[in-house]
RNA sequence: GCCCUCGUAGCUCAGCUGGAUAGAGCAUACGCCUUCUAAGCGUACGGUCGAGCGUUCGAGUCGCCCCGAGGGCGCCA
């Protein structure tokens, strides 16, 4: 067991034994103080207990200090500081033991059973299959992907789902657009629908259809042609979206089609269920959901007076279907412009008898693409929104992913394309990747392979201890990131770990023939760091290159 | 008008259930390759945490109010 775990379990036991309080998971926490004059680890436990026990924190701290010293041999010294912090100094070899742990666990280091197998369903991106993904989708896509990686690592059972919004008028418009483009190709007069799709992708798809079936769709009745083209276009656009997402490192486990949900009768069924439960009423020829009774500010229309469902209705069926498949927690990543939609969906789930507290909506704030201080809304090449693919080709996959993941999802962020492009070498992602390449280089040149050891007694400098402590904290960071669904915590961690490594590298020589014992211990430390860094980068979907060469262009 | 998110260093952003002297990166200045990758290390500079009031042992963090930015208030999706 690692020292931190021992410390926490012992502290918890003391709280129970001595004060008769049953500590919850969040009561006892330790942290690595910013200033290591405050020890290797520190806890504010005494201050937290002061409210429950109504005693001075210093008194409580003094009692805990005695208990710890008598129970844990790894603890070398304890000081009580400031308003009642308990600061621990740990025996150096006890800290270094984590190396064996990391090497033994390899790719699994950082994993935990924090999530206890709870079934999560994450729905994100979910863009209409009517055109290419653009850079507005890029943030949510990579965030959802990384969250899924983190949740799995922390022991949650996470499923990644894409809801294909393919049943509404927009797919029909795609069909009309394709029909027009085909007519255009054959020199016939044509009109693009006003709400149609005018991007180059539609022209390309029209060409592919013509290659395949020539003018067939002009020989059948227009209505039938448009309907068939809509279906074909939807499939082809969806294939392109899947390809782009894969290009971006984002895989999905499940693709749910709105059209399929409709065809299974789920939408009619849920409307019937809501009506039977008295959750609806008719007014002005439309069917309304009594959303105000469940916390929304207005009642919402389920079926319009023209007989068609609103966007909300199939989505209610979609969410109900998620619960019915046994998912315990539903996570949705929505654009910030959808925030008004949250109370609506929660109200619907609550009304249907589901626990709406387990429906979590993470809002993704808008990204402003900027070039030299001027907002860029359109791609210069196509005149349309900048696509995901253009963005990746422009600044690189790793940089694109890392940039979006390093900022909190709800922060409005400014993406300066010029800066991302021109300062490629100063990008934080290279800092971390360079650390990885440097470690690999040292390991390649070593005469022996890194080995676990019974005890590490020579890793005693501040640089080594800092590195060890941060390697050691990785599983906790992953667990925290999973609980708060925040990949940016992993980015912060990666930066810090890389920084501790680079600093260590600058002052400690690893491969030293004159000092083989120390060399062996440092090699093992590097191997543990390498594994940790690799696993952390994997959670971000960023590559861990074994070699990096600086380009000669600068 | 109402609702949501945000406001922290010149710039881009961290800051964990309220905790020790508010932190990084970039930019700026000065050092460091006859040591394993200088895409690096070290030092310095830089802040009345948008303004004010309140809650308490303690507030960047919680509450109220004001100012500013973005978004939402459809029988659109």
Q: Where do the structural domains in chain A lie, given as residue ranges?
A: 3-90, 119-166+249-364, 169-247, 426-540
Among left, alpha and beta (phi > 0; psi -120 to 50; other), residue A167 is: alpha
- What confidence score (pLDDT) does residue A49 get? 86
Distance from residue A363's CA to nucleotide B8's C1', rounded to whole Å: 22
Distance from residue A80's CA to nucleotide B55's C1', rounded to whole Å: 28
Residue with tokens 């003094």: A62
Task: Tell me the C-alpha distance between A338 and A262, whole Å.
Answer: 23
Nearest nucleotide (C1') to alpha carbon of A547: B37
Among left, alpha and beta (phi > 0; psi -120 to 50; other), residue A507 is: alpha
Distance from residue A245's CA to nucleotide B49's C1', rounded to whole Å: 39
- What confidence score (pLDDT) does residue A425 get? 61
- What confidence score (pLDDT) does residue A117 get? 96
- What confidence score (pLDDT) does residue A554 get? 37
Give A426-540's CATH code, choosing from 3.30.565.10, 3.10.450.50, 3.40.50.1970, 1.10.730.10: 1.10.730.10
Q: Which residue is nearest to nucleotide B2 (CA to C1')?
A: A297
Distance from residue A100's CA to nucleotide B49's C1', rounded to whole Å: 42
- State which fold the A119-166+249-364 domain adopts: Rossmann fold (3.40.50)
Nearest nucleotide (C1') to alpha carbon of A82: B20
Distance from residue A407's CA to nucleotide B5's C1', rounded to whole Å: 15
Distance from residue A340's CA to nucleotide B70's C1', rounded to whole Å: 15
Nearest nucleotide (C1') to alpha carbon of A433: B39
For chain A, 554 residues long, give each residue's pLDDT as a single digit of tens: 788 889 989 998 998 888 888 877 677 888 888 777 888 999 988 888 887 787 888 888 999 999 999 999 999 999 998 888 899 999 999 999 999 999 999 999 999 999 999 999 999 999 999 999 988 789 999 999 999 999 999 999 999 999 999 988 889 999 999 999 999 999 999 998 888 898 899 999 999 999 999 999 999 999 999 999 999 999 999 999 999 999 999 999 999 999 999 999 999 999 999 999 999 999 999 999 999 999 888 999 999 999 999 999 999 999 999 999 999 999 999 988 888 899 999 999 999 999 988 999 988 887 888 876 677 777 766 667 788 998 898 888 898 898 889 888 888 777 877 777 765 666 788 899 999 999 999 999 999 999 999 889 999 998 999 999 999 999 989 998 998 899 999 999 999 999 999 999 999 999 998 899 999 999 999 999 999 999 999 999 999 999 988 765 43
H or E element: which one contains A432?
helix A428-445
Determine if the pTM surpasses 0.90. yes
Cα atoms in the Cβ-side hemisphere of radius 13 Å centred on A371: 10
Q: Which residue is nearest to nucleotide B56 (CA to C1')?
A: A51
**What is residue A554's three-state secondary structure?**
coil
- State which fold the A3-90 domain adopts: Gyrase A; domain 2 (3.30.1360)
Nucleotides of B under 7 A from a protein CB: 3-7, 12-17, 19-21, 23-27, 35-42, 57, 69-77
Task: Tell me the C-alpha distance between A143 and A367, whole Å.
Answer: 13
């Amino acid at each position: 067991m690692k020292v931190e775990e021992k410390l926490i379990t012992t502290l918890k036991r003391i709280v129970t034994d001595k004060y008769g309080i049953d500590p919850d998971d969040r009561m006892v926490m330790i942290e690595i103080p910013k200033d290591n004059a405050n020890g290797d680890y520190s806890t504010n436990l005494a201050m937290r207990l002061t409210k429950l026990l109504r005693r001075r924190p210093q008194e409580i701290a003094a009692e805990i200090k005695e208990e710890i010293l008598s129970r844990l041999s790894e603890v070398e010294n304890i000081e009580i500081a400031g308003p009642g912090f308990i600061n621990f100094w740990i025996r150096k070899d006890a800290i270094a033991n984590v190396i064996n742990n990391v090497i033994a666990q390899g790719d699994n280091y950082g994993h935990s059973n924090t999530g206890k197998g709870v079934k999560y369903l994450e729905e994100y991106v979910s863009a209409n299959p009517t055109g290419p993904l653009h850079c507005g989708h890029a943030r949510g896509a990579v965030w959802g992907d990384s969250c899924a990686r983190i949740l799995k690592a922390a022991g949650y059972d996470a499923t990644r789902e894409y809801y294909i919004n393919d049943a509404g008028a927009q797919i029909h418009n795609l069909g009309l657009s394709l029909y027009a483009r085909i007519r255009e190709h054959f020199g016939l007069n044509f009109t693009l629908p006003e709400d149609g799709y005018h991007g180059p992708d539609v022209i390309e798809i029209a060409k592919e259809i013509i290659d395949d079936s020539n003018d067939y769709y002009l020989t059948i009745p227009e209505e039938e042609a448009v309907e068939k083209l809509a279906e074909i276009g939807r499939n082809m656009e969806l294939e392109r979206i899947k390809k782009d997402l894969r290009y971006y490192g984002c895989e999905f486990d499940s693709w749910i089609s709105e059209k399929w949900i409709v065809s299974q009768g789920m939408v009619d069924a849920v409307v019937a269920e809501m009506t039977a439960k008295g959750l609806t009423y008719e007014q002005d020829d439309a069917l309304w959901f009594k959303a105000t009774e469940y916390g929304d500010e207005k009642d919402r229309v389920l079926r319009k007076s023209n007989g068609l469902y609103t966007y909300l209705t199939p989505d209610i069926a979609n969410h109900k279907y998620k619960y019915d498949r046994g998912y315990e927690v539903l996570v949705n990543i929505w654009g910030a412009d959808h925030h008004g939609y949250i109370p609506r969906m929660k109200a619907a789930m609550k009304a249907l008898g589901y626990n709406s507290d387990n429906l979590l909506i993470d809002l993704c704030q808008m990204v402003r693409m900027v070039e030299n201080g001027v907002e860029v809304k359109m791609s210069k090449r196509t005149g349309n929104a900048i696509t995901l693919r253009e963005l990746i080709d422009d600044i690189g996959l790793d940089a694109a992913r890392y940039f979006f993941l390093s900022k909190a999802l709800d922060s409005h962020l400014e993406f300066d394309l010029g800066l991302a492009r021109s300062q490629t070498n100063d990008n934080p992602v290279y800092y971390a990747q360079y650390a990885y390449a440097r470690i690999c280089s040292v390991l390649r040149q070593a005469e022996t392979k890194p080995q676990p050891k019974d005890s590490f007694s020579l890793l005693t400098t501040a640089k080594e201890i800092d590195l060890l402590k941060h390697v050691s904290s990785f599983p906790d960071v992953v667990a925290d990131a999973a609980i708060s669904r925040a990949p940016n915590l992993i980015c912060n961690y990666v930066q810090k770990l890389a920084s501790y490594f680079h600093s260590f590298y600058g002052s400690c020589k690893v491969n030293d023939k004159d000092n083989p014992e120390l060399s062996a211990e440092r090699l093992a430390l590097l191997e543990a760091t390498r594994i940790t860094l690799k696993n952390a980068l994997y959670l971000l979907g960023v590559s861990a290159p074994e070699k990096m060469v600086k380009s000669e262009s600068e």
